Amino acid sequence: MVSRGRSNPLALAVLSCLAQQPMHPYEIASTLRERGKDTSIKINYGSLYTVVESLLRRGLIAEKETVREGRRPERTVYAITPAGRNEHDDWLGELISRPVAEFTQFEAALSLAGGLPPAEVQRLLELRRSALRIQLEADKATHQACLQQGLPELFMIELEYRIALRKAELEFVTELTGRIRNRRIGGIEIWESFHSGADDAQAEAAHQAAVAALEERMRATATRGGHPVPAASAPEAGPPAAKEPPMR
């Protein structure tokens, strides 16, 4: 469970900058971008000022001074408070030590993939696989360039993590695409029946046949393991139910 006030990692990034030295918001944004943190954390000036105001209200940072450079507008410099340091350390420790559900867009799409025909999902996954390969090569090139420039690995941890994630996703997408192409994914008949293009009666019949075939295979598998599975009760006669795509 995310603690109150800990839903925006930009706030943690602000505390991290101010833990090093007092800064004004523009300097915070520039520092984060110069260090490449904008590839891991969404940064824009509007949200940054909102975050600063929130941290100020909570007593995690305080106004240190107001400065003016040349003809530029006055800028307020902020410093972290003792409470802010404690919040920084506790929050960062929590994020590092506790896995949480990220609710990624791709995972959401996979959970709803049954809404498209198998052949279309296969095609889209192949497009994703190509994009992942390009992104992975770009990340590897960036990592190699950083090493050649002598940048310590400490400052490339998030890039190495991103490379590892892309490799894992590429492997998963490649394997899933092959299973769909070769019809080796369980429930493929049911999936296809929802997109058969037949009228309602034919589609319902195809769907029931696919479900029956799947149940028969499940019973056969369970029986071999010594655990027979009873047959499903036959549905009462009536008009075919409206066809809905599977959630998976």
The per-residue pLDDT string of the chain (248 residues; one tens digit each, 9 = 90 and over) reads: 445 568 899 999 999 999 999 999 999 999 999 988 999 999 988 899 999 999 999 999 999 999 877 777 889 999 999 999 999 999 999 999 999 998 999 999 999 999 999 999 999 999 999 999 999 999 999 999 999 999 999 999 999 999 999 999 999 999 999 999 999 999 998 899 889 875 566 656 666 766 676 677 667 767 665 555 444 444 444 444 455 555 55
Give the tokens for residue 186.
């369980």
Position 3 in a domain: no
Same-domain check for residues 114 and 60: no
Whether 195 maps to a domain, the answer reads yes
* Angstrom distance (rounded) from CA 199 to CA 50: 55
Q: Which of 43, 67, 97 is the last residue of a domain?
A: 97
Note whether residue 248 is domain-resident.
no
**pLDDT in the model for residue 194:** 87
b/e map 175-197, b = 16+ CB within 10 Å: ebbeebeeeeeeebbbbbbbbee
| CA 73 to chain centroid | 39
User: How many distinct structural domains can be found in the chain?
Assistant: 3
**Is residue 165 in a domain?**
yes
Domain identity same for 173 and 198: no
Domain boundary among 74, 97, 120: 97
Domain with 198, as residue range(s), is 188-224
The pLDDT value given to residue 163? 98
34 within domain boundaries: yes
Q: Are residues 74 and 112 in the same domain?
A: no
Whether residues 93 and 14 fall in one domain = yes
User: What Å distances lie between residue 5 and 17, 32, 54, 55, 101, CA to CA?
Assistant: 18, 21, 9, 9, 17
The pLDDT value recorded for residue 239 is 47
Domain shared by 134 and 93, yes or no: no
Residues 112 and 82 in one domain: no
Asked, for residue 235, whether it belongs to a domain, the answer is no
Asked whether residue 79 falls in the same domain as residue 24, the answer is yes
**Cα distance from N-terminal residue to C-terminal residue, the chain:** 26
Note whether 87 and 60 are same-domain residues.
yes
pTM: 0.73
CA-CA distance, 234 to 212, in Å (whole number)? 10
Residues 171 and 197 occupy one common structural domain:
no
Pick from 97, 115, 136: which residue ends a domain? 97
Instruction: Please tell me whether residues 164 and 144 are part of one structural domain.
Output: yes
Domain assignment present for residue 37? The answer is: yes
Confidence at residue 44, expressed as pLDDT on a 0 to 100 scale: 86
